[in-house]
Amino acid sequence: MINLELMQNALIHKFKEYDFSCGETVDSLVWLNDKRPKPTEIEIQQAIDEYVIYKQSILYLEKREKEYPKLQELIMALWEKVVENNSGSADTLQALRISIKEKYPSPT
């Protein structure tokens, strides 16, 4: 059984330029574009598979972003390092950045 929300997101991701609507079942998918025929069940499943791989490939970035220092902290650390010749904050933030990257490694 196909998760409808997953199917909708996958179709939006794969067929950005096409309009469709979907009710409570896969059979209720209505393709609102004449430029391309409605996807087959196999094409829908392929779109879902591709979307799941895509989401997994960017999930680590979303997790990293939540834990990375805020832009203001980075600006202050850079200012202190460049203008005030004090690298303490920059070194601390770099260590934090490295630990976050290790915690959420790139899938490639």
pLDDT in the model for residue 4: 84
Q: Could you tell me the two tokens for 63?
A: 């997790």
Amino acid 75 reads: I
pLDDT in the model for residue 1: 63
pLDDT in the model for residue 49: 94
Range of the domain at 72: 68-108
Assess contact for 31 and 20: CB atoms under 8 A: yes
Taking residues 41-50, what's their average pLDDT?
91
Q: How confident is the model at residue 102 (pLDDT cuts 50, 70, 90)?
A: very high
**90 and 42 in a common domain:** no
**46 and 3 in a common domain:** yes
Give me the number of domains the chain comprises. 2
Amino acid 27 reads: D
pLDDT in the model for residue 50: 94
**45 and 2 in a common domain:** yes
**50 and 6 in a common domain:** yes
Separation CA 93–CA 75 (nearest Å)? 11
Taking residues 73-78, what's their average pLDDT?
96
